Amino acid sequence: MPIRAAVRGAWPLLAVLLVTAVFHVHSVAAQLSNTHAVVKNWDVDSAQWIITAAPDASTVPKSRLPKRVAIIGAGPGGSSFAYQYSHLADLPADAQIDLFEAKNRVGGRVASEELVVPVLGDRTNVSLGTHDWGASIFVKENRNLVQWAAKFNLSSSKQGSSEADLGDLLVWNGTTISFAFDPSSVDGKTRAAWRYTTSPMATSREANAAAAALGKIYDDDHPAYTSIGDLARQLNLSPYLTVTAESYLRTGSRWYFVNDAFRREMVDGVTRANYGHSIDEVHALAALVGFVDGPVYSIDSGNQRIFEALIKNSKANVHLGTRITHIDFDETTSTYSLTTSTGAHKTGYDAVVLALPLDVYSSLHLPEGVHITAQPREYHHIHVTMVVGALHPDRGFTSTTANVFTLRTTPHIASIGRLHDLSSVAPGLGLFKVFSTVPLDDPTPSSQEITNLGYLFNRVDHIWRRQWYAYPIMVPTAPGAKDEEVYPEIVLHDAAPAHTVAGGLFYLNGMERLLSTMETQTIAATNLVRLLKQRAAYAAVAAAAGGSASVWKAAEAA
């Protein structure tokens, strides 16, 4: 029998089933105290209802939200999810949230440390304050971080206003200075204006336009998303993601001309400092975020304190020093179990949130049949060296040098910045932070190797070192690339075949491929909380329809 004839012959039975499903959907929607109108259209190709207006998730039956939730990773994403999920008004009173972190601290790649110098002048054990190894700044557009810093009474300072920040900004090619000026002086501003013309204004406008597009995600009525590619298109971010920053500023700028000197020296210099790569390697959004108008902040006691406060004020049970090696799914109970590196088992979780980069932690075993379809993405291996010392005058540095940007032709060194002015102890002495792509060797006098601290500094009193995989290299999206090849899915696995709970296995860190910042990780966490509430509302509808998978899929398609 031809397919069309078979469908036509089966139509009476299909009609009865569809009417039954519609009755269930409407009866449950009527029981929810707060719902939107549900508009349904039957899609013949997919044989599913397409619902164009979803149930309002603002009031969710408590029994539908996952009660036992495991979070793996206590960085910005995991800690902010723990906090936001803990404070859902609809969370069941007997809910249990367990947060597992392999390190013995929270914060993930946001690491703050008090630096103490054993000997400084005639003093011993001198504290130079708390400083961030990475993720050291945020801006006023980062609404979550700004809000939480205020909520938890964490004092912050504007970057660029301290004594250590005042001084010359140098553009360095590895041997000589290409350009130097004091951004705080009239003479310096005049010289920069002459060299760069209107380029700073043009770049800032482009950056503000990109920030405004991304800022729409904060709207209260912004729907939960399950596809990062769809989100990028919805926010009109695609023009920034499909080309290199260099190409965008050469040909795509909507405002003014950005001259070659500003692209090569300032935009490239800031991008190398922020993301360790030049503007011919990363997409436009990654470069533009460094030029958004407004003040730049950091928490005085370290940005790590934000995420410590989030966890402290959540309902999560925190398990530090606990590395998860396996995640398994029990089809009988529709729950997940975790295995730690010591062989301990944690069972009975309705939902598991992966808040760590799977590209780095590839040894984590996921449930059978769960695969990441996106292509692996290389993470930038960063080396940070903190030095109490004085920059070397033979390289063109002076006692007033505060910040050093490097050109793309400069090997290995991404940037040098002064964090603390110690010139009261000795001329030119300070605490400096050096970003590099390789480890820097202990100082050797008269060394001509750029990777030797003796090449950069003519005096070195103390050294601290850290290295880690900091962020994915944010390369432009290739033409014709499919979303599933570029961005990992957020919903990796659905927990309940009967769809009576909103549980599952979820991945937070896919957002990093679009833009890797502390704030975007918290945005991903906010979205997952919204998504769980939405799925819980859908689960209530599906459960009343007899656990119909088609109703659930139709709801998810909304």
pLDDT by 10s per residue, the chain, length 558? 332 332 223 323 222 222 233 223 333 233 333 334 333 333 434 444 344 455 555 555 555 789 999 999 999 999 999 999 999 988 888 999 999 999 999 999 999 999 999 999 999 999 999 999 988 999 888 999 999 999 999 998 877 555 545 689 999 999 999 999 999 899 999 999 999 999 999 999 999 999 999 999 998 888 899 999 999 999 999 999 999 999 999 886 565 688 999 999 999 999 999 999 999 999 999 999 999 988 889 999 999 999 999 999 999 999 999 999 999 999 999 999 999 999 999 999 999 999 999 888 888 999 999 988 888 899 999 999 999 999 999 999 999 999 999 999 999 999 999 999 999 999 999 999 999 999 999 999 889 999 999 999 999 999 999 999 999 999 999 888 999 899 999 999 988 765 566 899 999 999 999 999 999 999 999 999 999 998 888 877 766 666 554 444 544 544
Per-residue model confidence (pLDDT) at position 157: 83
Nearest 5°: phi and psi at 319?
-120, 90
Per-residue model confidence (pLDDT) at position 81: 98
> In the structure encoding, which two tokens stand for residue 34, read together?
């707060």
Residues linked to residue 413 through DSSP beta bridges, in sequence order? 436
Per-residue model confidence (pLDDT) at position 2: 32
Per-residue model confidence (pLDDT) at position 220: 81
Per-residue model confidence (pLDDT) at position 11: 27
Report domain extents, the chain.
66-108+303-375+475-544, 114-133+152-196+379-471
Per-residue model confidence (pLDDT) at position 29: 31
What CATH architecture applies to the domain 66-108+303-375+475-544?
3-Layer(bba) Sandwich (3.50)
- For the whole model, what pTM was predicted? 0.86
Per the listing, tokens 């010289």 go with 191
Angle at 84 between CA 356 and CA 157, to 5 degrees: 80
Say which amino acid occupies 500: T
Q: Which of 64, 545, 69 is nearest to 348 (CA)?
A: 69
Q: How far is the C-alpha of 38 from the C-alpha of 46, rounded, in Å?
A: 19
* Cβ pair 461, 366 in contact under 8 A: no
Q: How far is the C-alpha of 98 from the C-alpha of 70, rounded, in Å?
A: 5
CA 473 to chain centre: 13
Q: Which of 303, 273, 231 is nearest to 513 (CA)?
A: 231
Q: Which residues contact 552 (CB under 8 A, 6 or more apart)?
A: 499, 538, 539, 542
Per-residue model confidence (pLDDT) at position 57: 55
Say which amino acid occupies 129: G
* Cβ pair 383, 276 in contact under 8 A: no
Q: Which of 168, 188, 174 is nearest to 406 (CA)?
A: 174
Q: How far is the C-alpha of 139 from the C-alpha of 518, rounded, in Å?
A: 11
